């Protein structure tokens, strides 16, 4: 086939990139080779626009076993135990085909984890949909939630935490980010780096079909009015086969058979074989006619670019093939030796004993394009808010409006569709600041949480980047966990747009600063660009997934009030920052101004001191203060409990809206029994922590002196109102 400019463009390659390919090969590529370059050089696989910025992130620490560059990150939690985790996007597929897009997003991230030798113990997600009144939102919402539940429930991994948000910025491009967490022994971690010459390259799992071809390329381009036509690029998942594949791989890992292992994710067999060979500085030769196919007359091009699910590539030690095949036969999975490692440093593709393609590995990997794209710095404008306007709405009216809004309403109708308790190690499920998963047969546990804040990042990207790391940190601290490391999923618009690239660069700077200060390294992640339709880009939406350690779990700390007449203490100072608040958004439709400032020293000191209080058994419940401010945090603590609260009027800030709805950072609310209050105050004072005694818990009513009094029953009704009417 003659390679034309039109064919090159259809493969998502720029003319100058194609010219570079010809130079690297010293010839014209054939159609198969062009497809392989297209797969490996797209944004999704090569990170060509983000690599220079990602290098700035802190990725090392005493707790880090494996940082970015492998299928998932690995951290040490002591006693030869390791936690393996990663988050990835499946945005474009989920917009086109919500059920399968979301389901295969779950399947893909699970393979990233058990490929490393870890048994998955938890799933999380971060979901962003368009406005509830947009004609597509309802079907996308139900399709995605069903897909996540359908896959996770069937494979038997609990979905324990997440977030679901709505905004018009996602009307034409939803975000579906899936995170998986697994447990492994530190001395039994598996990697993708190929080693040795003439080693067996083995295909295992499900058969190869035509689904998902060009899926990675589709994820590296903006949508347009013809996006619906891209459904064939969406993979189809089978959780029951994934379960068999997981158990077979974990069984094989008990032996010393595996040299390297890699799942076939984006770009399928192409990316898995190239990545293994590249990391090992080896070549790899594949006999494509040996690939098990579920459709007739599949071409080499289709085989190499298929993104059919539930497949792995394994390189085995000599003489281990027979025993390994026996395991996969037992689990009723394909096991076929399809190639060998070589010393050629080439990807060599044979079909019916004829070489159909031969490409230097480095041309596909290390010599893939790296762009230092031009970007512009954000110059945000401070919003001038007339304080008189804030007094036009009563505290009670504003509270009701926020609690009944789509973003703050009860989401149990979502989480109830997920099995959160399977495996029986979920000590605290979704609803609190972080979920808690017990390490099986121990009294040790991990806490996990995902967080995002697009409005802050749009307004001031550096501050927004810092804030979302800090919020994730606070969520782990709130349940008594020491934060250890993060994974990130960086969802942005078109990187060829200088403003969008500026948002990315500055968000990364903010993430870097916060992670360095908090000793909270980035161990894995994903970049998702081109989130938009017809040049209308989403707001910058970095998602942070954090993991923390609870060395000894007794009674899990949640955000729900535990006792009557216990004291409520606010840690951290309130300045009344109201710009970019959900108070202004929900009550005045104002979405402008600057986000609250981030004081990293206060974040660190306040968080570490709260951990001291929790470890001294002085805290009954705890909740960080974030979106909606103090009053929303207090209302959330009352919801789901048998107790309300009576809150004092502030002594310093005269504007009650600023005090109760301001979104100042580095703050927590803790519930303390009366007899422990003096001990608590002493620790806070000794550590130089600002705090306020703001009230106490009480039966039946949520109350602010002289301003509002709502029964817990009514509060619950208000909080459940939106979905019941949707």
Task: Give pLDDT, residue 535.
Answer: 84
State the greatest distance between any 2 C-alpha atoms of the chain, in Å, as a whole number. Answer: 85
pLDDT given for residue 721 in this prediction: 87
DSSP 211-271: TTTTHHHHTTS-B-TTGGGGGGGS----HHHHHHHHHHHHHHTTTT-EEEEEE--TTHHHH
Note the pLDDT of residue 279: 97
Question: What would the mean pLDDT of 398-427 be, rounded to a whole number?
Answer: 92
Q: What is the pLDDT of residues 606-624, one digit of tens each?
A: 999 999 999 999 999 999 9
For 101-127, b/e burial (b = at least 16 CB within 10 A) is bbbbbbbbbbbbbbbbbbbbbbbbbbb
- Cα-flanking dihedrals φ and ψ of residue 254, to 5°? -70, -20
Helix axes 395-403, 712-719, angle to 10 degrees: 50
Interval 267-271 mean pLDDT = 93
How far apart, in whole angstroms, are the C-alpha atoms of residue 678 and residue 455?
39
Distance from C-alpha of 262 to C-alpha of 111, rounded to nearest angstrom = 9
Q: What is the DSSP letter of 6?
A: H
User: Contact, 680 vs 672, CB < 8 A?
Assistant: yes
- In angstroms, the CA 543 to CA 530 distance is 16
User: Which residues are tagged catalytic?
Assistant: 44, 90
Per-residue pLDDT, 224: 57
pTM passes above 0.75: yes
Edge-to-edge strands of the sheet including 708-711? 621-624, 668-672, 567-571, 691-699, 643-647, 701-704, 708-711
HEC assignment per residue over 448-487: EEEEECHHHHHHCHHHHHHHHHHHHHHHHHHCCCEEEEEE
Question: For residue 528, is pLDDT > 50?
Answer: yes
Q: Which residues pair with 87 in a beta bridge?
A: 179
Detail the DSSP E strand segments found in 323-434. Answer: 334-342, 346-351, 354-360, 426-428
**277-318 confidence digits (pLDDT tens):** 999 999 999 999 999 999 999 999 999 999 999 999 999 999
Q: What is the DSSP letter of 83?
A: E
Quote the pLDDT of residue 232. 57
DSSP summary character for residue 206: S
> What pLDDT, on a 0 to 100 scale, did the predictor assign at position 223?
57
Binned at pLDDT 50, 70 and 90, residue 218 comes out as: very low
**What is the structure's pLDDT at 546?**
98
> What is the arithmetic mean of pLDDT over 658-667?
96
Q: With cut-offs at 50, 70 and 90, classify the pLDDT of residue 40.
A: very high
Q: What is the mean pLDDT of residues 13-38?
A: 96
pLDDT on residue 424? 86
For the chain, how big is the Rg over CA atoms in Å?
26
246 phi and psi angles, rounded to 5 deg: -60, -50
Mean pLDDT value across the chain:
94
pLDDT at 383 over 90: no
606/474 Cα distance (integer angstroms): 9
pLDDT, tens digit, 9 for 90 and up, residues 352-377: 999 999 999 999 999 999 999 999 99
| 200-205 and 119-129 beta bridge pairing | unpaired
- Asked whether the predicted pLDDT for residue 42 surpasses 90, the reply is yes
């Amino acid at each position: 086939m003659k390679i034309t400019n039109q064919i090159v463009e259809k493969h998502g390659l720029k003319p100058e990139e194609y010219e570079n390919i010809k130079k690297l090969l010293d010839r014209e590529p054939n159609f198969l080779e062009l497809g392989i370059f297209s797969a490996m050089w797209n944004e999704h696989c090569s990170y060509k626009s983000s690599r220079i910025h990602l290098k700035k992130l802190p990725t090392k620490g005493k707790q880090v076993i494996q940082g970015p560059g492998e299928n998932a990150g690995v951290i040490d939690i002591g006693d030869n135990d390791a936690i393996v985790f990663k988050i990835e996007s499946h945005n474009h597929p989920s917009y086109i085909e919500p059920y399968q897009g979301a389901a295969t997003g779950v399947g893909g991230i699970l393979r990233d984890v058990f490929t490393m030798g870890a048994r998955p113990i938890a799933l999380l997600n971060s979901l962003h949909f368009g406005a509830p009144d947009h004609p597509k939102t309802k079907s996308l919402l139900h399709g995605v939630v069903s897909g996540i539940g359908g896959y996770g429930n069937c494979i038997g991994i609990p979905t324990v935490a997440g977030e679901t948000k709505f905004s018009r910025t996602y009307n034409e491009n939803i975000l579906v980010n899936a995170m998986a967490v697994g447990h492994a022994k530190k001395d039994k971690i598996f990697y993708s780096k190929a080693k040795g010459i003439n080693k067996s390259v083995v295909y295992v799992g499900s058969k190869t079909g035509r689904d998902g071809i060009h899926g990675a390329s589709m994820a590296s381009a903006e949508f347009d009015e013809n996006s619906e036509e891209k459904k064939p690029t969406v993979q189809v998942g089978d959780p029951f086969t994934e379960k068999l594949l997981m158990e077979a791989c974990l069984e094989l890992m008990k032996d010393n058979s595996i040299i390297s292992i890699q799942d076939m994710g984006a770009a399928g067999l192409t990316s898995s074989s190239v990545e293994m060979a590249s990391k090992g500085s080896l070549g790899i030769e594949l006999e494509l006619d040996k690939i098990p196919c579920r459709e007739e007359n599949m071409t080499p091009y289709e085989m190499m670019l298929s993104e059919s699910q539930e497949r792995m590539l394994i390189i085995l030690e000599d003489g281990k093939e027979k025993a390994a095949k026996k395991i996969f036969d037992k689990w009723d999975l394909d096991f076929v030796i399809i190639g060998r490692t070589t010393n050629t440093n080439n990807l060599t593709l044979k079909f019916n004993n004829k070489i159909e393609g031969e490409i230097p590995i480095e041309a596909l990997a290390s010599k893939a394009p790296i762009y230092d794209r031009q970007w512009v710095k954000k110059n945000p404008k401070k919003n001038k808010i007339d304080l008189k306007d804030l007094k036009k709405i009563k505290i009670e009216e504003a509270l009701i409006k926020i609690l009944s809004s789509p973003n703050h309403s009860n989401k149990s109708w979502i989480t109830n569709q997920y099995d959160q308790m399977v495996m029986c190690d979920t000590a605290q499920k979704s609803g609190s600041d972080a979920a808690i998963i017990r390490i099986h047969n121990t009294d040790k546990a991990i806490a996990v949480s995902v967080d995002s804040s697009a409005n802050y990042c749009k307004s001031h990207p550096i501050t927004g980047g810092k804030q979302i790391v800090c919020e994730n940190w606070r969520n782990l601290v709130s349940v008594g966990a020491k934060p250890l490391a993060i994974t990130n999923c960086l969802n942005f618009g078109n990187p060829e747009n200088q403003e969008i690239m500026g948002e990315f660069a500055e968000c990364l700077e903010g993430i870097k600063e916060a992670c360095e200060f908090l000793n909270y390294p980035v161990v894995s992640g994903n970049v998702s660009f081109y989130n938009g339709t017809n040049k209308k880009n989403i707001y910058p939406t970095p998602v942070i997934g954090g993991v923390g350690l609870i060395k000894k779990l007794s009674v899990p700390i949640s955000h729900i009030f535990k006792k009557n007449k216990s004291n409520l203490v606010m840690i951290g100072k309130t300045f009344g920052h109201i710009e970019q608040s959900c108070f202004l958004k929900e009550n005045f439709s104002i979405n402008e101004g600057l986000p609250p400032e981030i004081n990293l020293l206060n974040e660190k000191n306040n968080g570490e001191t709260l951990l001291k209080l929790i470890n001294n058994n002085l805290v009954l419940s705890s909740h960080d203060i974030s979106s909606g401010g103090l009053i929303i945090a207090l209302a959330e603590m009352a919801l789901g409990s048998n107790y309300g609260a009576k809150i004092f009027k502030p002594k310093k800030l005269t504007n009650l809206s600023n005090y109760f709805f301001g979104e100042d950072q580095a703050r927590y609310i803790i519930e303390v029994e009366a007899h422990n209050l003096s001990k608590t105050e002493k620790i806070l004072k000794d550590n130089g922590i600002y705090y306020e005694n703001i009230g106490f818990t009480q039966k039946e009513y949520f109350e602010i002196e002289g301003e509002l009094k709502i029964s817990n029953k009514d509060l619950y009704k208000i909080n459940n109102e939106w979905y019941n009417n949707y």
